[in-house]
Structure 1
Amino acid sequence: MRTSTRGSRRMMTLAVVAALTTGLLAGCAEDSDDGSSDSDSGSGGGGKTTLTIGTFGVFGYKQAGLYDEYMKQNPDITIKENVTTKTDVYWPKTLTRLQAGSGTDDLQAIEIGNVTEAVQTQADKFVDLGKEVDKSQWLDWKTAQATTKDGKTIALGTDIGPMAICYRKDLFQKAGIETDRTKLAEQWKGDWSKFVDLGKDYMKKAPSGTKFVDSASSVYNASFGGESERYYDKDDNVIWDKSKGVKQAWDDAMTVATSNMSSKLKQFEDPWNQALAKGSFAAVACPAWMIGYIQEKSGEAGKGNWDVAAAPTASNWGGAFVGVPTASKHQKEAIALAKWLTAPEQQAKVFAKQASFPSTPSAYPNLKPLPATTEYFSNAPITQIFSDSAKSIPTQIFGAKDQPINTSINDIGIVQVEQKGKTPDQGWDAATKEIKDVLGQ
């Protein structure tokens, strides 16, 4: 994943794309490089207009050949992509340039964890793209995330991360648990606590050396990813300590953290990768972009043992946008490029190469994972499952400090309980202290 919301892991895709040219995988990680790099898609000069696009991680536009295609269609345009590997470097740098009114790229990418801050504090620094497009092309909730209260849409949606449950049906079978994806989805439909309850049943006859899930944090984020009201309310009041969604997700996570059903792993780190290869946990909440990663890390031994079922509730993990700063010296041309890059046809092309799941529903009927990927996941109707989830995700309310609040709950609160043996109350108190520091309270 390319964002800190998704764990800042977009660069992990690079290792997988070679094997999965068109799998359900959104590149979503970054490497250890804190710096920036420039990537030219063509030479300028000759009276051409050079448009720059600032991105973080791997967006897939260059990889899918979109820049070359656009320049071929528009020979008077040259496109230069300026890539900053890490979002925690990219966004502060972008904010500084937006506020200065100079130095921005002609097109500027915005990660979902930063879009609320952009909407609330930088809206006047972006062109209103809502006046330039038919907004019905995008999922309503996606467009709403980049739209101000007075109706200005500062950026157009790129990818999203609809959620499902990926599970090892061989391990489920050995534990005496239902393996049929449709029946499983019905068992836990509408309530993540039902998914957790299934974990209790799994552990009664769990195959030796296995756990039900990878971590309590993954359960928290999956459950919380389907909530409309999160850490802020619609009036931008901080309500993290009163939110029903937070309480429910925390309770689900604590049931896992205080039981024997968690492998207590941090996603995408080496021990987690090794657990995938060994088949050490039976289920994981997986956004569309995680499918290819699971396939690559589980390897040949996992082929036909993995399956995919609809998640208890429609949930989202990740996504980004592209906007045009008012400081662009080539606004007209930049707007045209932004519209073209984020149109359904181009989002489908990025999916075919990078497998980032589109935020434009009209692209869904023609999305097809590789036959090898479908076979790997027991011929599950992967595209249908993720498409149905995408269409049902509610409009979510984000706030300026959403990301650090979420990090405090996961990396401090839940870790205190799951890793250090503290009580849920002690974990909550630790998270509360950190959050109050973040909010300056």
Structure 2
Amino acid sequence: MGTARKRFGSTLASVTAAAVSLVLVAGCGSSDDSGKARTKDGKTVISMGLFGVMGFKETDLLDRYMKENPDITIEADVAGDEQTYYTALQTHFAAGSGLKDIQGIEIGRAKELVDTQADKFADLSKTSGIDSFLPWKENQVSTKDGKVLGLGTDIGPMAVCYRKDLFEQAGLPTDRTEVGKLWAGDWAKYIQVGRDFKAKSKADKVSYMDSSSGLFNAMIYGDEKQFYDEDGKLIYQDNPVVKQAWDLSSDAAKEGLTAKLRQFQPGWDPGLANGTFATTVCPAWMLAHISEKAGPANKGKWDVAKAPQGANWGGSFLGVMENSPVKEEAKKLITWLTAPEQQAYLFEKLGNFPSSKTAIDMPEVANGTSAYFSDAPIGKIFGEAAKQIPSKQVLGRKDGTIKDTFTAGLQLMEEGKSPDEAWKTTDERIRKLAG
């Protein structure tokens, strides 16, 4: 992707900014809140509310659809930050006005919308081609009675992006297959490689990894349960997966293996460009951001290796509003935008990895490589990772908020707090925000 998806900025830090920025994404729906379809130059207008770089406005897909459907005009508004976008979306739901015909849904918000706003969305369970999606993808936006609120766009299978030159300086292998073997099957091995890197690196002021929170995310999202159980009860305190991820991430922070840089926050982009760290855990959608921010000077220095274990971090959906006066036209549009051919196209153009199992097997994806990342076979690497993702993922109402809070807690350790102090603060914040 050309710009970071910015899936979740820190909730604690972003609330004020989001409130101030509501006007940026407020807009009015295609109906102008009158219940009547809007027209422009004799064409039916379909409005879209998107966030980050979902790929539709950044490529020629919307123009192609309008060319093939000359009676349609598509107006897409994009909020750069998902937190700002979601705060505005909640405001529109509460007010009963301002909604677009089509709204993007981030995976971390899916459960909350399923539980609290399902009646606002059109049912997509009978949509043509819905069987092409990975089964767990559509389950994430399905109600208990089978209503489907959105069609899947991308997913976030994980890998490890690393700097070959910095590995070489530390006497470590640089071939992606050999690098993957160093930590195969166990994230603890990934940390052990970090210890070896720190001991042997000849590069001054270069850390092994960017942040402990990236490791934490990769570990917890390799399991079907993270913060909630199937009944919606918070289980993060007793979930051994969360405890193991916290402990290993704590080790990385305490041992000085991280550059103390939060992903997508100030300092991280310059770190990519300046070689401040040698590795980052990277979902597929992150590659375009790295290549843009690390810049042309670092082309061929980065590579991609298989992660120790499969996991999914991120992913989005497109939903249609039940009260949209152009509901049927909007359904046709998102069905086309999320079809296998368009998902494969977005992978080729931006690196967004398909949620369509049909698209994953298409040559454009399966044989895809990245010139920037040393011609790494990213289609194969992320495709294999996608098949390792648990077939069921239990989501909760405040998944995004809790993930942000854990990220902030891990940063506390990187700033010097003890693991016990950081956990206590994190636990208190989660109880306040999600309890």
> What is the TM-score when the length of structure 2 is the normalising length?
0.87
- 1:114 maps to 2:109: yes
SS at 1:119 equivalent? helix
| Residue 276 of structure 1: how far off its partner (Å) | 2.4
Distance 1:103 1:203, change over 3 A: closer
What percentage of aligned pairs have identical amino acids?
Answer: 44
- Aligned partner of 1:4: which letter? R
Note the 1:290-439 alignment, pairs <5 A.
290-364=286-360, 365-367=362-364, 374-394=370-390, 395-411=392-408, 413-419=409-415, 421-439=416-434
RMSD: 2.8
Distance 1:46 1:346, change over 3 A: same
Distance 1:166 1:424, change over 3 A: same
For each residue in 1:62-105, what CA deviation from the matched residue of structure 2 results, as whole angstroms up to 9, or x when unmatched? 33222222222222222222334433333233234345555422
Q: Match for residue 34 of structure 2? A: none
Match of 1:2 among 5, 10, 23: 5
Match of 1:162 among 157, 166, 177: 157
* Conservation of the 8 A alpha-carbon contact between 2:105 and 2:316: yes
Q: Match for residue 228 of structure 1? A: 224
Q: Match for residue 151 of structure 1? A: 146
- 1:82 maps to 2:77: yes
Unaligned regions of 5+ residues in structure 1, if any?
9-29
d(CA) in 1 for partners of 2:349, 2:98: 31
Unaligned regions of 5+ residues in structure 2, if any?
12-17, 31-37
Note the 1:165-176 alignment, pairs <5 A.
165-176=160-171
d(CA) in 1 for partners of 2:111, 2:308: 27
| Residue 312 of structure 1: how far off its partner (Å) | 1.0
Moved more, 81-90 or 283-292: 81-90
Q: Match for residue 240 of structure 1? A: 236
* Conservation of the 8 A alpha-carbon contact between 1:33 and 1:86: no
d(CA) in 1 for partners of 2:266, 2:242: 29
d(CA) in 2 for partners of 1:382, 1:426: 40
Q: Match for residue 15 of structure 1? A: none
| Residue 322 of structure 1: how far off its partner (Å) | 0.7
Note the 1:231-310 alignment, pairs <5 A.
231-310=227-306
d(CA) in 2 for partners of 1:163, 1:387: 10
SS at 1:130 equivalent? coil
Distance 1:184 1:94, change over 3 A: same
| Residue 145 of structure 1: how far off its partner (Å) | 0.9
Distance 1:176 1:89, change over 3 A: closer
- Aligned partner of 2:75: which letter? K
| Residue 60 of structure 1: how far off its partner (Å) | 2.2
Distance 1:96 1:299, change over 3 A: closer
Aligned length: 414
For each residue in 1:325-354, what CA deviation from the matched residue of structure 2 results, as whole angstroms up to 9, or x when unmatched? 111112221211121111111222333333
| Residue 290 of structure 1: how far off its partner (Å) | 2.2
| Residue 399 of structure 1: how far off its partner (Å) | 0.9
- Aligned partner of 1:157: which letter? G
- Aligned partner of 2:5: which letter? R
* Conservation of the 8 A alpha-carbon contact between 1:5 and 1:318: no
- 1:65 maps to 2:68: no
| Residue 368 of structure 1: how far off its partner (Å) | 5.9
